[in-house]
Structure 1
Amino acid sequence: MNPTGYPQGHALLIGVANYQHVSTLPGAILNDVNDVAATLSSPKYCAYDPANVVTLLDANATREAVLKGLDELAARAGLDDTACVFFSGHGGVVGNPGNEGSVLVTVDTNLADIEKTSISSDELATALAQIKVKRLLVFIDACHAGGAAISKRLTDGKGHELKSGYSSNTFAKLAVGSGRALMASCRADEESAVLTGERNSVFTTALLAGLRGAADKSASGFIKVFDLFNYVSEEVPKLNPNDQHPIFKADNLEVNFAVALSHGGKKSPYSPGTAPKADEKDSWSVLEEVLVEIYPSGPRDQEVWSRAGGDLSRLPFHPTGQAAWHAAIRTLKQGGGGRGISFGSLVRTAKEDFSNHPQLAMLHAP
């Protein structure tokens, strides 16, 4: 265990299940916030200072209180710190099709006066921009479905309605800025499952496991942002029998930054200069790390993706090499990226360029 913990970690966790004016959500939403807070604060897991982990639940999660909580997070978190913002509750879609925005639905949101009683995506983006840290990660678990049927529209019983969820435009807006990333529980057209009888939502179940060490497959002693998303994105579809795919947005993210300690900072038994054997570490993770190192501009660097049989038009564009490799490897693992490319062909092509690279040498290319 690391006796110094992770004092640079700060978090604001918000959860609303029992709304004043719109439909309630399963109690698992409150469990989600409490369990994430406990995991972040635990010296056995993420090792944040408990004083730096603030929760706002139900009646305490008003519009005013949430904005104040974000202001206080900005005030206490320094430039070299890591900040996490977690929200579980209703989201609402506003605006015209093609130009849709979103609102965060706080406990006191009144559908008769959305503008003054909810938090718009512009307001939320502005509040996040005031958090002047090098590493900011935003989690949104919304569009819930589970327990009693939850409509895709929020109503107040007085004739006012609001489309439930978040627009894809909002996710991109909230991730703007260097060192900032957003992880959402599902795509804009999907539902975030809360399975009957389960303590947590599907997304938060996977997130908790990742924060408790499952995302640190290399036993580095840290939970890192790309590793965490990789883990969550692979686990959620396994847990949810219906379609649910978490999404990840990052505008200018070049580094696989640490979010927290893993197992209180427990590291691999390997010395700093000794790499584990490929079969002792997830081969996909090793390959991604190596590719980021040797082709820093991404899959287009030295045309490595094309030479390995891939189709660059099948890959999403990302402004940084690391983010581009992260997305490309995930696409390849799911069977995409071009008909002719595979794990083996990519390894073989990289070995042709860097025949003496020690980590590449340990990767088997079937």
Structure 2
Amino acid sequence: MNSIGYPQGHALLIGVANYRQISRLPNAILNDVNDVAATLTSANYCGYSPANVVTLIDEKATRLAILKELNELATRTGPEDTACVFFSGHGGVVGNPGNEDSVLVTVDSDLADIENTSISSNEFATALARINSKRLLVFIDACHAGGAAVSKSLTDGKGHELKSGYSDSTFARLAIGSGRALMASCRADEESSVFTNARNSVFTTALLAGLRGAADKSGSGFIKVFDLFNYISEEVPKLIPDDQHPIFKADNIEVNFAVALSQGGKKSPLAPETSQIVQEVLPWSELENIIIELYPFGPRDQEVWSRAGGDMSRLQFHSTGQAAWHAALRTLKQGGGGKRINFGSLLMTAKEDFSNHPHLANLQVP
């Protein structure tokens, strides 16, 4: 039994499958919550204290209970803590076209009075804003295709209907604030898949593997936020090609912060057969750290990406320079970002701009 632990970790995990008045979801949603809780509190995985992990499942996941526990999470976490909020269930879209809002659908939501019986994005964002932790990670696994008939709309059998899902603007709103990030199971126009008879949803299957150590590819002993999303974003398309793409939203993340221990905090020694792989990875990591410092506004800063032979149209927009660089370098490692850009051309361009930078001068092409 590992005794290190991750006492600064706190989590609120919410899952609703058996709604009182609305279309039900597969029981995999409940497994998602229970399995994430078990992984977070395992001494062999994430090392959270069981007392710091609260679960609300089905009948316990009422509107008032969720808001109460979000307030409790804000009360018990401090600036140096890590806070995680996980929701698996229905999302809904309310309002008129052009003025739409997304709501978190609770077990007691009533489609006949949805705006008063659900949690609006503003309420959710306000509750998250009260959490003063410098590290807050929100997971949304919604728009479940496993419900077949409920993937596009929610119904109650009484003639009421609500468009299913969350808007991209809602995801962005929930990630506002320093050190805040959101991972969602799919894009706003996609569905979150649950395979027939599967124990977990596709997104949570990847999340669980990542939390159990697969995301810690460097063997650092920690699961870190960018590493976790990189792993999930690579694994989900393998499970369901072309149909589901997890998204990441971050307003102002300055570091690749830890969210949990990896395999109880165990660091992996560099075995001879893996040492060459690690040597290949290290220059990329070092370049990322340096280039974020030198070009804080991202690949567009001083047109460094274009000058290195890259094509900005091949890169996705991100709200912070660090997130933009992280995504751009990941794309570059996979052979994307433009036909004429590579590690060497980007490094050479940076060296030309900052010829006296000591760490940059020592960095070589892997």
TM-score, with structure 2 as normaliser:
0.90
- The aligned counterpart of 1:116 is 116
For residue 280 of structure 1, what is the aligned residue in structure 2?
Answer: 278
Q: Does structure 2 retain, via aligned residues, the 8 Å contact 1:278–1:286? A: no
CA–CA distance in 1 between the matches of 2:226 and 2:276? 19
Deviations 1:213-264 (A, max 9, x none): 1111111111000000000000000011451000000111111111001111
For 2:162 and 2:85, the matched residues in 1 are separated by 24
Q: How does 1:130-279 map to 2 (within 5 A)?
A: 130-146=130-146, 148-269=148-269, 279=277
Q: Distance in 2 between matches of 1:241 and 1:253?
A: 29
Amino acid of the residue matched to residue 43 of structure 1? A
Residue aligned with 2:54, SS: strand
Structure 2 Cα separation of the partners of residues 341 and 68 of structure 1: 51
Identity %: 76
User: Which moved further from structure 2: 294-303 or 17-26?
Assistant: 294-303
CA distance 1:279–1:145, change in 2 (3 Å) = same
Q: Which runs of 4+ in 1 moved over 4 A?
A: 333-336, 347-359
Q: Amino acid of the residue matched to residue 204 of structure 1? A: T
Tell me how far apart the structure 2 counterparts of residues 50 and 359 of structure 1 sit (CA, whole Å). Answer: 46
The worse-fitting range, judged by mean Cα deviation, of 172-181 and 145-154 is 145-154
**Alignment-derived partner of residue 59 in structure 1:** 59
Q: Are the structure 2 counterparts of residues 78 and 27 from structure 1 closer, same or farther at C-alpha, using a change threshold of 3 Å?
A: same
**What is the CA–CA distance in structure 2 between the aligned matches of 1:282 and 1:43, rounded to whole Å?**
31
Aligned ranges 1:78-117 → 2 under 5 Å:
78-117=78-117
Give yes or no for contact 1:61–1:106 (8 Å, CA) kept in 2: yes
Note closer, same or farther for the CA distance 1:289–1:317 as it changes in structure 2 (3 Å cut).
Answer: farther
Which digits, 9 at most, give the CA deviation of each residue in 1:291-349, with x for residues without a partner?
A: 23244213245543223211235434445332121121244356543332234543555
Contact 1:58 1:107 in 2 (8 A): yes
Matched residue SS, 2:182: strand
Structure 1 residue 360 displacement after superposition: 3.7
Which amino acid in 1 is paired with 2:144?
H
1:290 CA drift (Å): 2.1
CA distance, structure 2, for counterparts of residue 255 and residue 337 of structure 1: 23
| 1:168–1:335 distance in 2 versus 1, CA, 3 Å | farther
Q: What CA distance in whole angstroms lies between the structure 2 residues aligned with 1:55 and 1:190? A: 27
For residues 1-80 of structure 1, the aligned pairs below 5 Å read 3-80=3-80
Letter of the 2:7 partner, please give it: P
Counterpart of 2:193 in 1: which secondary structure? strand
The one-letter code matched in structure 2 to 1:232 is I
Amino acid in structure 2 at the alignment position of 1:143 = C
Structure 1 unaligned spans of 5+:
271-275
Residue 305 (1) aligns with residue 302 (2): no
Over 3 Å counting, the alpha-carbon distance change for 1:173 and 1:19 in structure 2 is same
Letter in structure 1 aligned against 2:287: V
Q: 8 Å contact 1:299–1:324 — kept in the other structure?
A: yes
Cα displacement (A) at 1:281 = 5.9
8 Å CA contact 1:287–1:360 kept in 2: the answer is no
**More displaced, 54-63 or 95-104?**
95-104
TM-superposed deviation, 1:98: 3.0
Which one-letter code corresponds to 2:220 in the other structure?
S
Q: Please tell me the residue identity of whatever aligns with 1:315.
A: L
Residue 159 of structure 1: how far off its partner (Å): 1.3
Q: Secondary structure at the match of 2:21?
A: coil
Distance 1:223 1:167, change over 3 A: same
1:194 is paired with a residue whose SS is coil
2:250·2:320 contact (CA, 8 Å) conserved in 1?
no
The one-letter amino acid paired with 2:305 is W
2:156 partner letter: D
Mapped to 2, the partners of 1:237 and 1:95 lie a distance apart of 32
2:304 is the alignment partner of 1:293: no
SS in 1 for 2:23: coil
Query: Any idea what SS the aligned residue of 1:259 has?
Result: strand
Letter in 1 for 2:122: D
Q: Quick check: 1:288–1:326 contact (8 Å CA) kept in 2?
A: no
The code of the aligned residue for 1:224 comes to: K
Q: 1:321 to 1:277 in 2, by over 3 A?
A: farther
Deviation string, structure 1 residues 89-120 (Cα, Å, up to 9, x no partner): 00001122233210000000000011211000
Q: Runs of 5+ in structure 2 lacking a partner? A: none
- Deviates most, 323-332 or 64-73: 323-332
- Judged with a 3 Å threshold, the aligned counterparts in structure 2 of structure 1 residues 281 and 231 are, in CA distance, closer, same or farther, namely farther
Change in CA separation of 1:318 and 1:150 when aligned onto 2, cut-off 3 Å = closer
Report the Cα distance in structure 1 between the residues aligned to 2:245 and 2:291, rounded to whole angstroms: 30
Q: Which residue of 2 aligns with 1:273?
A: none
Residue pair 1:292, 1:321 contacting (<8 A) in 2 also: no
Instruction: Please report how far the alpha carbon of residue 288 of structure 1 lies from its aligned counterpart in structure 2 after TM superposition.
Output: 4.4
Q: Structure 2 CA distance, aligned partners of 1:261 and 1:233?
A: 20
Matched residue SS, 2:171: helix
Q: Separation in 2 of the partners of 1:242 and 1:310? A: 25
